[in-house]
Structure 1
Amino acid sequence: MNTTAHPVRPAASTRDADGMAVASFLLGLPGLLVLNVVLGPAAVLLALTALARGTRRRGRAVLGLVLGVGDLLLMAGLTVAGHGVLWSFG
């Protein structure tokens, strides 16, 4: 009988959720400055998915969620103020 302890490996879904939590933070942070129309929703979706899958990095997922929502609020505020979405072609 083998009594050596094997290291406990996290389940694949937990590792994926941890990666999503970190990715939501890393997308939400630069979204405050650039491309908030793209990075904000991506950060929110990744954070919510990570939280739903039971990430061990809950704090980072919540921070990514807050930053993603902040991106969207910033975009809405700048658009209302007339300084956002300044795309012009031609």
Structure 2
Amino acid sequence: MQDKIKQLELLITQTLARQKELAGENTTLKNRLRNLEQNNLQLHQLQQELRTLKEWKKNTQSVLRKIATRVDKELEKAQAQKDKIV
């Protein structure tokens, strides 16, 4: 009977130790999950910012092409007027 009681006490001790170990693991995993969620949120924010910047770049390039076309036309007009004068 004493043997069985000692075995049960040993099992209880092992179970409690394992439970503590698992609680520590659980805390670690929760922290890791929290970090991953934060990283995921940052990634989504950066992706949105990247999309915004790409759209801005596209619009800016379009405006610059239009301005370059206008400048070229004005230069051609100025050259034509210069040729008429000479």
Q: Give the TM interval when normalised to the shorter protein.
A: 0.3 to 0.5
The one of the two structures with greater contact order (alpha-carbon pairs below 8 A, sep at least 6) is 1
- TM-score, normalised to structure 2, is 0.37
Q: Quick check: which has more Rg, 1 or 2?
A: 2
- TM-score, normalised to structure 1, is 0.36
